[in-house]
Amino acid sequence: RRFDASALLRCLGLSRRETMLLFTLQLALLGILASIVGALLGWLAQLGLFYLLHDLLPTDVPPGGLLPAVAGIGTGLVALGGFALPPLAALGRVPPLRVLRRDLLPIPPSTWMVYGAALLALGLIMWRLSLDLLLTFALLGGGVIAALILGGLLLLALQSLRRLLAKASLPWRLGLGQLLRHPLAAAGQSLAFGLILLSMALIALLRGELLDTWQNQLPKNAPNYFALNILPADKQAFTDKLVALSAPSAPLYPVVPGRLISINGEPVREIVSKDSSGDRAVQRDLSLTWAADLPAGNKITSGSWWTQQPEGDLPGVSVETQVAESLKLKLGDQMTFSVGGVNREARVTSLREINWDNFQPNFFMIFQPGTLRDLPATYLTSFYLAAGHDQQVVELSRAFPAVTILQVEALLEQLRSILAQVTLAVEYVLLFVLAAGMAVLFSGLQATLDERIRQGALLRALGAERQLLVKARRIEFGLLGAVSGLLAALGSELVSLVLYRFAFDLPWHPHPWLLLLPVIGALLIGGAGVYGTRRALNASPLTVLREG
């Protein structure tokens, strides 16, 4: 849209360099003003975000300071530079003769230059946010591959619609023809809105359903209470009380706090990597126990379980497989623990997989019986008590004041409350992403508005009614939104299937309500598209044709 202005400036005596500098300054001023406004909006949005998370955040949250605003402004300018500089360079190559011949166009910049600058800008922003070069390349590469695959499928779908134009009615031919006239832009906008709707739908899907699905697959009488810090003197009395209440319980496991300090004589902090489960395991005291029998829900994957008494020079210890992997443990390794102020050594005799969903007491480390018997210990168990026995739980707490009783359902309700607030905050942020998508849609419409105005004026001059053009616009943008919603629905189902089956190990079922996404996309993008092109519908045909 700036080619004519650039050609006129060249005719008035500006050099190519001066023309480029003029447009660059204009764009830079617009970018700085827009980024400052965006930083102010971000500061206001932060207040709304804090309000949504008021139950999770401290009452006195420190102010954001100036650095986030500077980072936001810098992000905006880097993105602007990456996406705008290649087409901006074309403005300096507009031939002055264009003022007389409108068909003359500058040599377009290299495709590699256009997309390379955009990817470089995205990479810089992602690296600045993550400070992890490997993560940046992984996300950027995965995003590019996904965009190419999905964009290619959308382009093929658009091309297949071309065969339907011959048999379609006039409004459909006009609407589909406009999409086919700019297939890359249509595929890009459909993909962008599809990913936005996918993100919002996936959060809405997982927010409440994930916990409910997990809870529904638990056994009917799965323990719903945990009892901690049972004193040795109260062990038998507490067991008898549970029997009197007809509350099925797990065995009472002795618990001794201890810290892993070395493996094969080497300090453990020099072995484990940062941010691994093994690192978290050595940063605190572990709950150590001993047992003669393999606990329910545990499965030996390597090595063998032991007999009743320790054998050999060192007692045995069984380690959970994931912790063993992060600690780089293997069978026969010697581990040293600091327990009760003294060091205790043990040898790895088996590795175990644990079913963490059975609400039974589970432990990373289980020692052979007799290994820690001389140390002071408390006991831990879990039990099931049917609903309506709240008074009995209160009496149990009063009878054993040293025992801590945790109600699983209360913990799950608290977890649901936290998840609801966090997902609401994420959806709140995604509304800004949706607003950005709308801004991109409107800017794309502005780029083609002159063409749409001329096309509408010509059709009106040939006898087309305004209602026909409105219907064609609705079909064009409604179809774009419906394809975006369909992409979001299919993507949400696929992502939820992968998460349920491979990440959470939960049963998956289809979600028919996701079929509303194509309707929502059609209404949302269709309404925005018709609104953004209203000038093309309202322009006087006579005025437009005279100017042409």
Q: Give the DSSP letter string of 129-194.
A: HH--HHHHHHHHHHHHHHHHHHHHHHHHHHHHHGGGGGGS-HHHHHHHHHHHHSHHHHHHHHHHHH
Nearest to 429 by CA among 79, 90, 49: 49
Query: Using an 8 Å Cβ cutoff, are 500 and 506 in contact?
Result: yes
User: Given this model, what pLDDT does residue 33 score?
Assistant: 94
Do residue 256 and residue 356 come from a single domain?
Answer: yes
User: Given this model, what pLDDT does residue 275 score?
Assistant: 56
User: Given this model, what pLDDT does residue 36 score?
Assistant: 92
Query: Using an 8 Å Cβ cutoff, are 315 and 347 in contact?
Result: yes
Q: Is residue 93 part of a domain?
A: yes
Q: What angle do CA 71, 40, 77 make, to 5 degrees?
A: 40
The label of the residue with tokens 């050595």 reads 282
**Rounded Cα–Cα distance for residues 46 and 57 (Å):** 13
Q: Is residue 242 part of a domain?
A: no
Do residue 262 and residue 358 come from a single domain?
Answer: yes
Helix, strand or coil, per DSSP, at residue 359 = coil
Beta-carbon neighbour count of residue 532 at 10 Å? 20
**Rounded Cα–Cα distance for residues 223 and 248 (Å):** 8
User: Given this model, what pLDDT does residue 318 score?
Assistant: 93
User: Given this model, what pLDDT does residue 215 score?
Assistant: 66
Do residue 431 and residue 541 come from a single domain?
Answer: yes
Do residue 379 and residue 258 come from a single domain?
Answer: yes
Do residue 417 and residue 535 come from a single domain?
Answer: yes
Do residue 375 and residue 477 come from a single domain?
Answer: no
Do residue 50 and residue 116 come from a single domain?
Answer: yes
Q: How far are the Cα atoms of 18, 35, 141, 188, 313 from residue 126, in angstroms, in the given order?
A: 33, 18, 12, 21, 54
The residue out of 131, 151, 185 marking a domain boundary is 131
Q: Write out the chain's pLDDT in tens, 548 residues.
A: 777 777 888 788 788 788 888 888 988 999 999 999 999 988 888 888 888 887 777 777 777 778 888 888 988 888 888 888 877 877 777 777 776 676 666 666 666 777 788 888 888 888 888 777 887 887 788 778 877 887 788 888 777 777 777 677 888 888 887 887 778 778 888 888 888 888 888 887 777 677 677 667 666 777 888 999 999 999 899 988 888 888 888 889 999 999 888 888 888 877 775 555 555 666 678 889 998 888 888 999 988 888 655 556 788 899 999 888 888 888 989 999 988 788 888 999 999 998 877 778 889 999 988 788 788 899 999 988 887 778 888 888 888 998 998 888 787 777 777 777 877 888 888 888 888 888 888 887 777 777 787 777 777 777 778 888 888 888 888 888 898 888 888 888 888 888 888 777 777 888 888 889 999 989 988 888 888 888 777 777 666 666 65
Q: Is residue 82 part of a domain?
A: yes
Nearest to 238 by CA among 359, 43, 383, 366: 383
**Rounded Cα–Cα distance for residues 406 and 404 (Å):** 6
User: Given this model, what pLDDT does residue 29 score?
Assistant: 93
The label of the residue with tokens 């940062």 reads 274
Residue 55 belongs to domain spanning: 1-131
**Rounded Cα–Cα distance for residues 358 and 142 (Å):** 36
Do residue 195 and residue 278 come from a single domain?
Answer: no
Number of domains in the chain: 3
Residue type, position 8, single letter: L
User: Given this model, what pLDDT does residue 61 score?
Assistant: 76
Q: Is residue 297 part of a domain?
A: yes
The residue out of 366, 383, 400 marking a domain boundary is 383
Q: Is residue 159 part of a domain?
A: no
User: Given this model, what pLDDT does residue 100 score?
Assistant: 66
**Rounded Cα–Cα distance for residues 548 and 543 (Å):** 9
Do residue 265 and residue 212 come from a single domain?
Answer: no
Do residue 31 and residue 78 come from a single domain?
Answer: yes
Do residue 31 and residue 83 come from a single domain?
Answer: yes
Q: Is residue 32 part of a domain?
A: yes
User: Given this model, what pLDDT does residue 497 score?
Assistant: 85
User: Given this model, what pLDDT does residue 231 score?
Assistant: 92
Do residue 419 and residue 540 come from a single domain?
Answer: yes
User: Given this model, what pLDDT does residue 99 score?
Assistant: 65
Q: Is residue 236 part of a domain?
A: no
Phi, psi of 223 (to 5 degrees): -55, 135
Q: Is residue 286 part of a domain?
A: yes
